[in-house]
Amino acid sequence: MSPSVVAAIAAWKATPETEVIDTPEGLAAYTASVCASSRDVWCVLRPANANGVREIVRIANEFKTPLYPISRGGQWGMGSKLPVRDGAAIVDLSRMNRILEINEAFHYAVVEPGVTQGQLIDHIEQKGLKLMLNVTGSTSTTSLIGNAMDRGVGYFASRADGISNMTVVLGNGKTIQTGFGHVEGAKTANLFPHGIGPSLDGLFPQGNFGIVTSACIDLMPEPEHRMTAVVRVESEEKLAAVIDGMIQLRRNGIFHTIAHVGNRERSYILLAPMLYQVMLAAGGTAGPALREQAVAMLEQAGFGPWSAGVGILGTRHQLRYARREIRRTFRGIAKTTFLDDAFIRTAKRVAGILSFIPYVRKQRMLLQAIEPTYGFTQGTTTDTCINTVYWPTGDFEHLDSLDPDQSHSGLMFCLPILPASGHAVCTMVADIRGTFARHGFEAAITVNLMTSKAMEGVVSLAFDRRDVARTEAARACIQEMESRFMEQGYPPYRVGINSMHHVVKEDDPFWQTIRDLKQTLDPNHIIAPGRYNLV
């Protein structure tokens, strides 16, 4: 390390509001990554509050030492806790985990960056508030602000659309509030996101201009009723029709949430480990034979080439109408099933009474395995989804570990945005499968209908990090796939630390302007160099 870095670390250690980690053992928890990348990291800084963040930034400017802020570091498959470039101090904001305000009448919460989705859900339940959170399919331990800062997508809406009134420590040392937050006495700071004048909120998701120390997160009023529609596609040839049917239902206002459509590989890596755990609890013997039984049970249950799920919220009358329209739309195309809390309770009770019947016992196990994922569409979260990282690589010793960075499993993502079109999705799926097959992999694919115009593609690649050849093949596959998406006019909405070059271009006036903004807001290039920026 240079003398300036040594001096900066000494100065950070002298501040009372920040923990400093610079031992090899301490850094190892931050520098391991499920995407099999590595970076040189000088130290980790763990501020207790916004004052600590301001002091960290002041010292970084004094000694010209870059910082890489993370909320909790659950950016699995995209870089985890690692910076884009070598040579930085990670700023871990997980100690800043206070829920500053929660408002039931206007359905919002003001939180610090260390607050997790599980923490907020627990708080809502403990207070008996009739509110719901736009959850993601990740674990309960992931950060609300951190996910929104990279434009994560929940089960009901994009997270970036539901964040406002941010308090930000800029790279130049100034602290600002966005929207009406900076107006003294404003009573609408958490109610109207735009404020007055140019809106600055859009600068900070996927920006490297500052560190967000608090923000307002939109919640949803608890609806009168809610249910989940499950659509199972029995034939690959009918995928386009199912996609187009979902689009038409969304356009007609039958549902306003995000519909998730996943291929067989996605369904199996999500449900098989949950079913495996249920079978273990029922007395099964751990090992390959039981894992094969779990997969076979899913096949028998009719989880074909593609399955879709969408949460529907509203009055009893609205849900009854939605059920009728969904059935009508997919009649002759796919099988539809509707789940709600009453159905789940009744099915579990009946299955318990009749569990001496082998068929009923199997159905009960399937229901127990599906129930956690059903919860996503109901605004709850589960940690069992972390097994989707371990299951496809055979890393069964780490099942249920909440830190995949410390396992041997590898995971990488591609995340293109596609037009809402069944034809476009099928064309993309064929291309993905061909590209993955050339590199020796199978793709787990989900396409999420975000609006009636656009769909998010979530393409994941699993590999064993202990296998050097497979790791290199995985990197090559993801890089080729992202290049192909760009060539086809489907750029990603989010990229990992190794893929900034696919989207950030020196000769593009857009990125030149982002660089110019950086010069004003962070003249010493302190905050996350290279993250969605030329500098």
- Give the model confidence (pLDDT) of 44-83 as tens digits: 999 999 999 999 999 999 999 999 999 999 999 999 999 9
Are residues 23 and 83 both part of a single domain?
yes
The least confident of 149-158, 201-210, 363-372 is 363-372
Compute CA distances 193 → 160, 215, 518, whole Å: 12, 11, 23
Q: Of the candidates 343, 373, 398, which is a domain's last residue?
A: 398
Report, as an integer, the average pLDDT of 468-482: 97
Half-sphere exposure of 319 (CA within 13 A, CB side): 17
Tokens matching residue 53: 């963040």
Task: Provide the CATH number for the domain around residue 131.
Answer: 3.30.465.10
Contact between 132 and 224 under an 8 Å Cβ cutoff? The reply is no
- Would you say residue 329 lies in a domain? yes
- Would you say residue 231 lies in a domain? yes
Q: CB neighbours (10 Å) of residue 296?
A: 11
Are residues 200 and 238 both part of a single domain?
no
pLDDT of 205 over the 70 cut: yes
Phi-psi domain of 303 (left: phi exceeds 0; alpha: psi -120 through 50; beta: other): beta
**What is the pLDDT at residue 298?**
86
Label residue 150 by pLDDT band (50, 70, 90). very high
- Would you say residue 507 lies in a domain? no
Please name which of 144, 151, 84, 96 lies closest in space to residue 118, comparing C-alpha atoms: 144
The least confident of 100-114, 331-345, 442-456, 482-496 is 331-345
Compute CA distances 159 → 52, 266, 466, 504, 535, whole Å: 27, 22, 34, 23, 26
Are residues 300 and 362 both part of a single domain?
yes
Residue of higher predicted confidence among 303 and 23: 23
Label residue 406 by pLDDT band (50, 70, 90). very high
Q: What is the dihedral of CA 40, 46, 52, 55, to 10 degrees?
A: -20
What is the distance between the terminal CA atoms of the chain, rounded to a whole angstrom?
21
Highest-pLDDT range among 21-25, 301-305, 349-353:
21-25
pLDDT of 300 over the 90 cut: no
- Would you say residue 148 lies in a domain? yes
pLDDT of 350 over the 80 cut: no
Tokens matching residue 346: 């009744």
Compute CA distances 326 → 129, 245, 332, 444, whole Å: 31, 9, 12, 26
Tokens matching residue 399: 């099942």
Report, as an integer, the average pLDDT of 202-219: 97
Report, as an integer, the average pLDDT of 159-182: 97
Report, as an integer, the average pLDDT of 309-318: 94
**What is the pLDDT at residue 353?**
72
Are residues 197 and 272 both part of a single domain?
no
- Would you say residue 502 lies in a domain? no
**Residue corresponding to tokens 């995000």:** 258
The span from the CA of 387 to the CA of 137, in Å, is 12
Are residues 370 and 275 both part of a single domain?
yes
- Would you say residue 359 lies in a domain? yes
pLDDT of 378 over the 90 cut: no
- Would you say residue 118 lies in a domain? yes
Task: Provide the CATH number for the domain around residue 433.
Answer: 3.40.462.10
**Secondary structure element (H or E) that encloses residue 211, with its range:** strand 210-218
Contact between 203 and 533 under an 8 Å Cβ cutoff? The reply is no
What is the extent of the structural domain holding 185?
Answer: 99-221
pLDDT of 182 over the 80 cut: yes
The span from the CA of 24 to the CA of 379, in Å, is 39
Are residues 105 and 91 both part of a single domain?
no
Beta-strand relationship, 225-233 and 306-314: antiparallel
Q: Could you give the number of structural domains in the chain?
A: 4
Are residues 381 and 243 both part of a single domain?
yes
Task: For 126-140, write each residue's pLDDT tens digit.
Answer: 999 999 999 999 999
**What is the pLDDT at residue 224?**
93
Report, as an integer, the average pLDDT of 178-204: 95
The residues that bridge with 67 in the sheet, in sequence order, are 89, 527
Label residue 363 by pLDDT band (50, 70, 90). confident
Report, as an integer, the average pLDDT of 496-509: 97
Phi-psi domain of 299 (left: phi exceeds 0; alpha: psi -120 through 50; beta: other): alpha
The span from the CA of 330 to the CA of 231, in Å, is 8
The span from the CA of 169 to the CA of 50, in Å, is 8
* 3-state class (DSSP) for residue 527: strand
pLDDT of 307 over the 90 cut: yes
The span from the CA of 366 to the CA of 389, in Å, is 21
Give the DSSP letter of residue 113.
T
Give the DSSP letter of residue 187.
S
Cβ-in-10-Å burial (0-12, 13-18, 19+) of 176 comes to middle
Report, as an integer, the average pLDDT of 513-521: 98
Are residues 318 and 234 both part of a single domain?
yes
The residues that bridge with 313 in the sheet, in sequence order, are 226
Are residues 304 and 426 both part of a single domain?
no
Label residue 359 by pLDDT band (50, 70, 90). low
Are residues 343 and 229 both part of a single domain?
yes
Residue of higher predicted confidence among 357 and 387: 387
The least confident of 22-31, 380-389, 421-430, 437-446 is 380-389
The span from the CA of 176 to the CA of 199, in Å, is 12
pLDDT of 413 over the 90 cut: yes
Are residues 201 and 252 both part of a single domain?
no
Compute CA distances 166 → 57, 176, 381, whole Å: 17, 8, 25
Q: What is the dihedral of CA 328, 330, 336, 340, to 10 degrees?
A: -60
Q: CB neighbours (10 Å) of residue 301?
A: 16
Mean pLDDT of the chain: 94
Label residue 371 by pLDDT band (50, 70, 90). confident
Q: Of the candidates 173, 201, 221, which is a domain's last residue?
A: 221
Report, as an integer, the average pLDDT of 398-415: 93
Q: CB neighbours (10 Å) of residue 430?
A: 10
Q: Of the candidates 369, 398, 427, which is a domain's last residue?
A: 398
Are residues 389 and 448 both part of a single domain?
no
Label residue 364 by pLDDT band (50, 70, 90). confident
Compute CA distances 303 → 291, 293, 341, 359, whole Å: 16, 14, 22, 17
Cβ-in-10-Å burial (0-12, 13-18, 19+) of 315 comes to exposed
Tokens matching residue 250: 């969304």
The span from the CA of 197 to the CA of 188, in Å, is 15
Contact between 401 and 407 under an 8 Å Cβ cutoff? The reply is yes
**What is the pLDDT at residue 281?**
87
The span from the CA of 75 to the CA of 179, in Å, is 27
pLDDT of 180 over the 90 cut: yes
**What is the pLDDT at residue 462?**
96
**CB neighbour list of residue 25: distance below 8 Å, 6 or more residues apart:** none
**CB neighbour list of residue 348: distance below 8 Å, 6 or more residues apart:** 364, 367, 368
Please name which of 365, 404, 160 lies closest in space to residue 280, comparing C-alpha atoms: 365
pTM comes to 0.94
pLDDT of 90 over the 70 cut: yes
- Would you say residue 357 lies in a domain? yes
The span from the CA of 7 to the CA of 163, in Å, is 37
The least confident of 106-115, 371-380, 467-476 is 371-380
* 3-state class (DSSP) for residue 140: coil
Please name which of 484, 483, 495, 473 lies closest in space to residue 414, comparing C-alpha atoms: 495
pLDDT of 355 over the 70 cut: no
Label residue 105 by pLDDT band (50, 70, 90). very high
